Amino acid sequence: MFESSKWITSEKDYGSAPRVYFRDLNIIKPLRKAVLHITAGGIYNVYVGNDKAGDVVFTPGWTVYDKHHMYQSYDITDLVAESDFLYVSVGSGWYAGRIKRSLPQKQFPCDFGIIAQIDLEYAGGLRETIVSDESWTVGTGNILESDIYDGEVYDANIKPTFEDAVKILDESKTQLTPQIGEYVVEHDIFEPKKIFTTPKGETVVDFGVNLTGYPFFEGLQARMGERVDLSFGEILDKDGNFYNDNYRTAKCQFTYICRDGEQSYKPHHTFYGFRYVRINEFPEGADPSILRAVDVYSDIERTGYFECGNEEVNQLFKNTIRGQKDNFLDIPTDCPQRDERLGWTGDAQVFCKTAMYNFNVNGFFNKWIYDMTLEQYENGGIPDMIPNAFGGVSSAWADSVCIIPWTMYQMYGNVDILKLAVPAMKKWVGYMRSFTDNEFAYVQDRSYGDWLGLDATEGSYDGKTDKSFLSDAFYAYSCSILAKAMAIIGEDNSEYLELYDNIVKEFKVRFADYTETQTACVIQLHFGLCDDRRAVTEKLVKLIRDNDTALTTGFVGTPYLLHALSENGEVELAYDLLLRREYPSWLYPVTVGATTIWEHWDGMKPDGSMWSDDMNSFNHYAYGAVCDWMYGVICGINPRNGKDEAGFRVFDIAPVPDKRLGYAKAELDTAYGRIVSEWKYEKDKFVYSFEIPEGTTAYVTVDGKTEILSAGKYTR
């Protein structure tokens, strides 16, 4: 592919305005087939005549461009039959925009450039190829400014010409590979739920949920020079006013300069995270209720469903689904609104199991983990975010290289991802090992720790749990995963089994009495790093009860908190935490109307005050990781790890009910069919029903009794 094509770009610097490349096709009809292969150093849209090729957006996605730059292929036969020219609009996107940050190795050479090949096949069988070269021309279109963080400014009055000569770039093509993973597409359309005037007198449209995508309008009547100018926010402040100081430097512009007459508009190369839209300017006499919003995310298929007798828990579950959609836009992002939107590894790691119950994200994570292996440093460190935007290596974040592929294996039976990741896992464990003084212990001086734990000192992001404790614990955990993964792909893992034993031995010596924080207890229990489980459990219970039955855990401890309790006989307390409505808790944001998961437990406190604007997203999925406890414990659907078991060919069903929920039901679509696990009370008696799909076997544990069952519908 692209043998004769050349990377082309513009000679002139047009600032952040998208470059538009133009080519007459001069097709000798009749044509049998026309296929376009293309990619860009930015985000591109292709148009043949006035029609967009493909219904995908944000191509070519965000990858490690210097090593893995995807191209896309479009069948444009029908479009070419109607029109004879083609143009490509390229916005700065992830390749050339502000988001790429400042790592030296990230100065890519083809900013705003494209490379293309069009394969034509005529009716008589004759073939011809059109490639990107000097025969194309370039210019700018109606978009004056475009950036993922800063939004778009569009002038409908410009009559664009694309007549400048292109500049040929002599750049590498070896990194160009076909698309893998899911495409990003537009999904649902949202109408305004409410349009209101705030106490400050501003007009605000409420779209009802915090979504990622963009607003658009059709059929707007306006006069030349009038504007549609919008600002975006996720939440209202305590007085009910529009608020978006938490977007930091992301300008998120939406400025449309009208021409005369009726017009429609949808932004092209940018996205916004928002629930509320403030109308800064709108054409005279026009009604903002014509605004619509569309959400945009990777085309992943929904697989998991959960509901129970508690409406607030159901809303928490829905908020997690919403947050996943909002942050699965080609890569798993921390948040979709402020000047980050980065593939933070820790966030994806803590959320990955929930993500894999909710949706089929096998292809999505395949692509991202591949990029992770490409971004791994020579010394084995894994950068904080993939693609790497500004470096760093931190325990629990970098351990995603072990945890995510292993979870993909468990949930999807994906052995290939283990084959891909095991060399990177070895390098990562080797990196940690290189810091040890005696083969056993490890002291880490740079880690985010239990990020955003509530036991942090006032104003700090770092939870109280000792950072070297966490590094050691994750070192052990990753080493155990590596050993298991090697066994699955048939490699001799004895070295790592021994290393694991040594790490654990040393860990127990150094941290035997370290039960100072909830997270410290949770990690020891869930990772199996303590001898006296009862004592550590009792300490954890005490820490929670002494804290008014409330959690203090941050990013690292929270995903395992309920598991650590329910695995150690404290089911009732686990439910107490899940069902707690007062701040701090999972349900507190629900009680104040949240539609997504907040970054901080104290993003907005009961008195209406907010955590500093500096780091306060209302759409961070990490704490939504609690949903894997809903599927896996409340309804008890769990994968098994054996070589022929993973991917739910053989699985467990072991529900752990609590009367307070009334009933609970989880459904999971697997490669074999749908698993259903449902329980309810009938006059104080638990009634369980299960469905086991064809070709699978389930170990069903009810009231402490285990049965091995094959496909069918059962009641117990």
Task: Name the one range near ligand BGC by CB under 6 A: 199-207, 321-329, 332-340, 408-416.
Answer: 332-340
Binding mask 615-644 toward ligand BGC (x if CB under 6 A, else -) reads x----x------------------------
Contacts of 685 by beta carbon, 8 Å cutoff, 6+ apart: none
Burial bucket for residue 102 (CB in 10 Å: 0-12, 13-18, 19+): exposed
- Answer whether 48's CB lies under 8 Å from 21's CB: no
- Rounded to 5 degrees, φ, ψ at 52 are -80, 135
Q: Establish if 448 lies at the interface with ligand BGC (CB under 6 A).
A: yes
Task: Provide the H-helix boundaries in 489-647.
Answer: 494-511, 518-526, 533-546, 558-566, 571-579, 587-591, 627-629
Q: Taking the complex as a whole, how short is the minimal distance between the CB of residue 402 and ligand BGC, in angstroms?
A: 17
Task: Name the one range near ligand BGC by CB under 6 A: 140-148, 316-324, 338-346, 414-422.
Answer: 338-346
Which of 591, 446, 467 lies closest to 520, judged by CA? Answer: 467
Q: Taking the complex as a whole, how short is the minimal distance between the CB of residue 340 and ligand BGC, in angstroms?
A: 5
Task: Name the one range near ligand BGC by CB under 6 A: 32-40, 226-234, 342-350, 600-608.
Answer: 342-350
Contacts of 583 by beta carbon, 8 Å cutoff, 6+ apart: 601, 602, 605, 606
Q: Establish if 346 lies at the interface with ligand BGC (CB under 6 A).
A: yes
Q: Taking the complex as a whole, how short is the minimal distance between the CB of residue 169 and ligand BGC, in angstroms?
A: 34
Could you confirm whether 340 is annotated as catalytic?
yes
Contacts of 201 by beta carbon, 8 Å cutoff, 6+ apart: none
Could you confirm whether 234 is annotated as catalytic?
no
The correct pick among 276, 344, 586, 621 for binding ligand BGC (CB under 6 A) is 344
Q: What is the distance between the alpha carbons of residues 427 and 583, in angstroms, rounded to a whole number? A: 42
**Catalytic choice (145, 152, 182, 599):** 599
Q: What is the distance between the alpha carbons of residues 701 and 654, in angstroms, rounded to a whole number? A: 5
Q: Establish if 334 lies at the interface with ligand BGC (CB under 6 A).
A: yes
Q: Taking the complex as a whole, how short is the minimal distance between the CB of residue 350 and ligand BGC, in angstroms?
A: 9
| CA dist 329 → 16, 157, 184, 194, 332 (Å) | 22, 32, 6, 27, 7
Structure tokens at 196: 């209101």
| CA dist 442 → 296, 431, 504 (Å) | 43, 11, 11
The correct pick among 182, 340, 506, 628 for binding ligand BGC (CB under 6 A) is 340
Restricting to residues 263-292, name those near ligand BGC by CB under 6 A.
none
Binding mask 406-445 toward ligand BGC (x if CB under 6 A, else -) reads ----------------------------------------
C-beta of 61 vs 346, nearer to ligand BGC: 346
Total residues in contact with ligand BGC, by rule CB under 6 A: 10
Burial bucket for residue 425 (CB in 10 Å: 0-12, 13-18, 19+): buried
- Rounded to 5 degrees, φ, ψ at 423 are -60, -40
Torsion, CA 156, CA 157, CA 161, CA 166, rounded to 10 = -50
C-beta of 374 vs 615, nearer to ligand BGC: 615
The correct pick among 154, 272, 364, 451 for binding ligand BGC (CB under 6 A) is 451
Q: Establish if 22 lies at the interface with ligand BGC (CB under 6 A).
A: no
Q: Taking the complex as a whole, how short is the minimal distance between the CB of residue 461 and ligand BGC, in angstroms?
A: 7
Contacts of 277 by beta carbon, 8 Å cutoff, 6+ apart: 204, 205, 207, 215, 230, 231, 232, 233, 291, 293
C-beta of 571 vs 615, nearer to ligand BGC: 615
Q: Taking the complex as a whole, how short is the minimal distance between the CB of residue 347 and ligand BGC, in angstroms?
A: 5
Q: Taking the complex as a whole, how short is the minimal distance between the CB of residue 333 and ligand BGC, in angstroms?
A: 9
Task: Name the one range near ligand BGC by CB under 6 A: 52-60, 264-272, 333-341, 648-656.
Answer: 333-341
Q: Taking the complex as a whole, how short is the minimal distance between the CB of residue 51 and ligand BGC, in angstroms?
A: 38
- Nearest residue to ligand BGC by CB is 334
Structure tokens at 212: 């990622």
DSSP per residue over 543-582, as a string? HHHHTTS-----TTTHHHHHHHHHTTT-HHHHHHHHH--S
C-beta of 347 vs 375, nearer to ligand BGC: 347
C-beta of 31 vs 615, nearer to ligand BGC: 615
Task: Name the one range near ligand BGC by CB under 6 A: 120-128, 159-167, 340-348, 536-544.
Answer: 340-348
For the chain, how many residues are written?
A: 716
Q: Establish if 347 lies at the interface with ligand BGC (CB under 6 A).
A: yes
DSSP-derived 3-state class of residue 533: helix
Q: Taking the complex as a whole, how short is the minimal distance between the CB of residue 626 and ligand BGC, in angstroms?
A: 17
DSSP-derived 3-state class of residue 217: strand
DSSP 374: H
Enzyme catalytic residues: 340, 599
Interface residues with ligand BGC (CB under 6 A) are 334-335, 340, 344, 346-347, 448, 451, 615, 620
